[in-house]
Chains A and B, each alone.
Chain A
Amino acid sequence: MTVTHKKDMGLGVAAIAFGAWMFAEAMQLKSGPDFWPKVVAAGIILLGALIFVMGLMGLRKAPAAKGPAKEKAKPQYIHVAAVMVVLVAYYFAFQTIGYTIPTFLMIGATAYILGYRNWKVLLPTSLLTSIALYLVFTKLFGIRFPGAFF
C-alpha cells in the first residue's frame, strides 16, 4: 500500500511541475488566448497538490506493517519497452523503406515479443495482413504510402 502512496506523491509532484511549465508558457501568450491555458494549468497544479497531500496523508495513516499486499506477476517492462522500440522503428521505416515490408516485420516482431512462437501461423498471417492492408488502402481508399518500396 505504501508503494501506491509514494507513487501518488511522485505523480503529484510531476503534475505540479507540468502545470507550472504550462503556466509559464501561457505567460508568454498575449492576453486573450492565454486565459484558458492558465486556468487549465492552475487546475493541474491544484490537482497535483491535492494528489500529493492525499498521498502523504495516506502514507502516514497506513501502517507500514501491512506488508506485501498482493502477489502480482511482476510487470515485464522490458517487453513494453521492446514494443515501443518496434513501433518507433516502424514509424521511421514506413516513411523510408515503404509500407508492406516494415508492416510485415512489425506484426512478426510484436507477436514474438508477446510470446507467440508458432511460426507456421505467424508468418502467413503477418504476410497476408500486411499485403491485404496495403491493397485495401491503396486500391480502395486511394491512399499513397510514403517510402521507397511498396
Chain B
Amino acid sequence: MLGNIMAGLGALMNFNTLLFLFIGTLVGLIIGALPGLTGNMAIALMVPVTFTMDPVTALAFLTSIYCSSIFGGSISAILLGIPGTISSFATTLDGYPMAKKGQAGTALGVSTLSSVFGGLFSAVVLMCLTVVLAEFALTFGPAEYFAVAVLGLSCIASIGGKSLTKGLLSGFIGLFFACVGMDPQTGVKRYTFGSVNLLGGITMVAALIGLFGVISVLKSAEKGSSGKDTEAMPEVDNVWIGWKMCKKLLPTWLRGSIIGTIVGIIPGAGTNVATFLAYDVEKKISKDPDSFGQGDPKGVAAPESANNGVTGGSMVPLLALGVPGNATSALFLGALMLQGLSVGPVLFTDHADIAYAIFLAFFIANLLMWPLGLFLLRYMKTILSVPESLLGGIILAFCVTGVYSISSNPFDVAVVIFFGLLGYVFYKFDIPTAPLIVCLVLGSMAESNLRQALVASKGSLNFMWTRPITLVVLLISVVSFFVPIISKAMKAARKRRSPDVVTAGDIAESSTEEMDDD
C-alpha cells in the first residue's frame, strides 16, 4: 500500500496538477458560497473540459471542486442564513444565529476546520477501507433505505423548536409537498394541478431558498424603514478559533465525520441524511440541548464535518463497485469513463497509481481548503457590513438567478416565491421551517422505499423485524423521536414541581404549558 501511495503521490506532484487542485478548490469555494449554485453544476460543466487533461489532473481538479464546494455552502448559510444547498441547511440552524450574535468569524472558522477535519477523515477511510466497506453498501435494500429515511425523519421532533405540535405540523406539510408529482412506483399524478412543471415534484433547492432566502428579506421588510438604523452591525470576530476550541470540538468532529462517512457510503442516502443526523445526535448528547438553534458552535461543527465526511464516503461504492453513491459521484463516473478508465476492483489492480492519486487528491484538496478558506473568509465576512436594506435586493437576485440556473425553468422561480410566502406565514404563526425541509427531502425516499419493501415482502410488514439492519435503525429512530419529547415533558413537569409521573401521553399538556411560559 505504501508503494501505491508513493506512486499516487508521484502522479500528483507536478505543477499542472497542483495548479488545477488549487484552481478547483478556489472555484468550488466561490460556487458553493453562492446560493442556489452547487458544486455539482460546476463539476458537470467541467467534466467535458477534463476530457483533454491527463486522468490524474482531471480527477484531482474535480475532487477539489467537490470538496470545497461542500464547504463553500456553509459560507452563505452562516453569513446570510441562506443555505445554498440542502447539505448546508443544518449549518444554518446554528451558524446564522452565531453570526447574528457577532460571532460570524468564529462560526466560519468552526465550519472551515470542521470541513477540513471531516474531509481528511473520510479521505483516510477512503484510502484504507474502500474495498472492505464496499460490501456494506450492497446490504442496503428498500427496507434498509426506508429505515434510514425514517431515522432522518425522526429528528424533526428535536429540531422543531419550542412547540412540538407545530414542529410536527411543519414536518407533515413537508411530507405533503414531497407527495407532489408523479408517484415513483405507479406513475400516478398526485397534487400536480394539471401542471407539467409539477410532474417531477417540487425542486427542493428552490423550496429551500424560498424558505430561507426570500423569508430573510421579508423579515427585514416587516421591520419597516423605522428600525433600520437601530440595529447595530454585529462586530465580526476573528476567524481563527484557537486550539482550546479545537480541542473542545474534537469529539463533535469525530462523531460528525463518522456519521458522514458511513451514511455517505450508502448509495442514494447521501449528504442530506448525514447532516440532519449529525446535528441531531450532537443536540441529543449535549448537556445543554437548548443552546442548539441559538448559536452553538457544535451545531455548526457537526453538520459541516458530516457533509465533508460524505465526500469521501460517496466515492467508496463508486471506486469499489462502479456504482455512484450520489449525483456528484455519478459525474465522477462519467469523468473516469471518458478517460477510458474502468472503476471497480480493476481500477486498483490496473491503475493503482490513479486510484491512490484520487485518494491523495482528496487529502490535498481538504488541506488546501484550510488556508484558502480562512484567507477568503477574511474578506467574505465584510458582507455583513453591508446594510440589510441594501443587501435584500441583492440576496433576492442571487437566489432567483441561482435557482433558475438549476434547470433553466422559470417555474422554479415561482416555487421560490411561493415558498417565500409560505415561510412568512409559518413565521407569523411561529411554525418552524426546519422540519418541513427535512420531510420534503426525505419524504419520498421513505414512501418509495416502504412501498418497494412491501412489494418485495409480498405485502407483509415483517421486513421491519426480520432484517437486522432495518430493525436496529428503526429502533434507534423510535428512541431518537421520543427522547426529546420525553425529556421536554419531564423538564416541564419539574418546572411545575408536580409529583405526577409524566409519560409521553402528557406531551400535549406540557407543550401547552410551555406556550404559556413565553
Chain A–chain B contact at Cβ < 8 A: yes
Q: Which residues of A contact B (CB under 8 A)?
A: 1, 4, 7-8, 11, 15, 18, 22, 25-26, 29-30, 32-33, 35-37, 40-41, 43-44, 47-48, 50-51, 53-54, 57-58, 61-62, 73, 75-77, 79-80, 82-84, 87-88, 90-91, 94-95, 99, 103, 106-111, 113-116, 118, 121-122, 125-126, 129-130, 133, 137, 141-146
Of B166, B179, B397, B424, the contact of A36 (CB 8 Å cutoff): B179
Residues B176 and A116 in contact, CB atoms below 8 Å apart: no
Does B511 interact with chain A (Cβ within 8 Å)? yes
Interface size class of B (residues with CB under 8 A): 35 or more
Of B225, B429, B516, the contact of A61 (CB 8 Å cutoff): B516
Of A35, A75, A91, A143, the contact of B405 (CB 8 Å cutoff): A143
What residues on B are CB-neighbors of A94 within 8 Å?
Answer: 400, 410, 413
What residues on B are CB-neighbors of A48 within 8 Å?
Answer: 169
What residues on B are CB-neighbors of A110 within 8 Å?
Answer: 217, 392-393, 396
Q: How far is the CA of A57 from the CA of B512 in the complex (A)?
A: 8
Residues B405 and A40 in contact, CB atoms below 8 Å apart: no
The chain A residue sitting closest to B395, CB to CB, is: A110
The chain A residue sitting closest to B439, CB to CB, is: A40
Residues B393 and A111 in contact, CB atoms below 8 Å apart: yes
- Please judge, given known A-B contacts A4-B515, A80-B221, whether A22 and B176 are in contact too, CB under 8 Å: yes
Does B45 interact with chain A (Cβ within 8 Å)? yes
- Separation in Å of the A99 CB from the closest CB of chain B? 8
Residues B165 and A51 in contact, CB atoms below 8 Å apart: yes
Does B491 interact with chain A (Cβ within 8 Å)? no
The chain B residue sitting closest to A4, CB to CB, is: B515
Q: Which residues of B contact A (CB under 8 A)?
A: 37, 41, 45, 165-166, 168-169, 172-173, 175-176, 179, 183, 185-186, 188, 190-191, 214, 217-218, 220-228, 387-390, 392-394, 396-398, 400-401, 404-405, 408, 410, 413-414, 417, 420-421, 424, 429-431, 447, 450-451, 508, 511-512, 515-516
Residues A114 and B220 in contact, CB atoms below 8 Å apart: yes
What residues on B are CB-neighbors of A107 within 8 Å?
Answer: 393-394, 396-397
- Separation in Å of the B446 CB from the closest CB of chain A? 8
- Please judge, given known A-B contacts A4-B515, A122-B390, A129-B397, whether A54 and B508 are in contact too, CB under 8 Å: yes
Q: How far is the CA of A43 from the CA of B417 in the complex (A)?
A: 27
- Separation in Å of the A96 CB from the closest CB of chain B? 10
> Which of A48, A125, A126, A141 has the most C-beta atoms of chain B within 10 angstroms of its own C-beta?
A141
- Separation in Å of the B390 CB from the closest CB of chain A? 5
> Which of A25, A30, A43 has the most C-beta atoms of chain B within 10 angstroms of its own C-beta?
A43
Of A76, A84, A144, the contact of B224 (CB 8 Å cutoff): A76
